[in-house]
Structure 1
């Protein structure tokens, strides 16, 4: 796991290491990621590297946390702006994540990570099975969703709704970053799916 010494580093040095990790993952498939190249790019020693990280798997966590922190902050703002509207929040989460793709480096990182999620890459699998906490910051959202206009209001119901929306979001993001579909078309289709979920698919004849 990422060690406290990494988070205690001066901001400039920590960001330099993060940048080196991002550069490596943007230019290499995950199974070919090189610690030596990261060390050289970040201008740190091998000993220092292992003071901050246990292994390559921690580097995946660095990336996930970097993207997750940005997404969570955007999600919080969307929640506050919309008074806890779950559908507005998920609409904005798509926009936040899709916006990563405007940067070529970030787009390639997400493409490599997501592609290898489907390919069962050893590095990704080890992280997901044993260390993944990337969605932990999003759990706070469930308690902040406004339930006044929801048909189903219990904690379990809201959790199920959030899980459904998260899966729809993940599929759409995969279409953008891995399949390479046009982002505007994917967004339009994504919003249509949100609308179907929001309104329901069954006609109420009563």
Structure 2
């Protein structure tokens, strides 16, 4: 986790650092990244970097988690456009992603997450039963006629859906698929979820 010093920075300063970290980790594997390169791009001292993060791994995990959260929120936004069309909302999100400019920050964050071997991208954070996220999520599930027996099951399904989307996008990127190929593969997965494998 970044230090309080970083979290207390003004938003515009944090955004500059976020942009530099995203570009750095997008351009090369973390094993090839040097702190000296990042502090040079940030135009700050090495000591300042360590006031913000424990080390390079901490900065990388922060970057992965930041963009994972943004992407997860965007997936929920697409699902909530029409709560009765749960899987179609995800499909619309996937189509939107497939049409992104490959130089955009959002595309870079998708690529970074799809190529990450960092386990923190899969870490499940405790979500309180009365949190706005869970309230919105359970409302969506109810409207979609998706029945969950407990809070824990609803949270597990939330993470399952996020992994479904990221796996679809990883396949799209790795195989250099067209949008049509991405959606065909996604629809296979939805069919298996809804109907099982016979």
Counterparts of 1:100-139 in structure 2, within 5 Å, are 102-103=102-103, 107=107, 110-111=110-111, 113-117=113-117, 124-125=118-119, 127=120, 132=123
Cα separation, 1, equivalents of 2:65 and 2:96 = 15
Normalization by structure 2: what TM-score? Answer: 0.73
Contact 1:74/1:96 (<8 A) preserved: no
Count of aligned pairs between the two proteins: 193
Contact 2:172/2:182 (<8 A) preserved: yes
Unaligned segments of structure 1, at least 5 residues = 118-123
Contact 1:71/1:93 (<8 A) preserved: no
Q: Deviations over 1:96-139 (max 9, x none)?
A: 6546663366655644553452xxxxxx25x469xx457969x7
Q: How much does 1:31 deviate?
A: 1.0
Partner of 1:121: none
Normalization by structure 1: what TM-score? Answer: 0.71
Cα separation, 2, equivalents of 1:6 and 1:66 = 14
Contact 2:68/2:121 (<8 A) preserved: no
Say whether residues 1:177 and 2:173 are aligned partners.
Answer: yes
Partner of 1:68: 68
Greater shift, 23-32 or 156-165, is seen at 156-165
Counterparts of 1:37-48 in structure 2, within 5 Å, are 37-48=37-48
Unaligned segments of structure 2, at least 5 residues = none
Say whether residues 1:168 and 2:181 are aligned partners.
Answer: no
Partner of 2:54: 54
Partner of 2:149: 154
RMSD, matched Cα: 3.6
Contact 2:98/2:179 (<8 A) preserved: yes
Contact 1:90/1:165 (<8 A) preserved: no
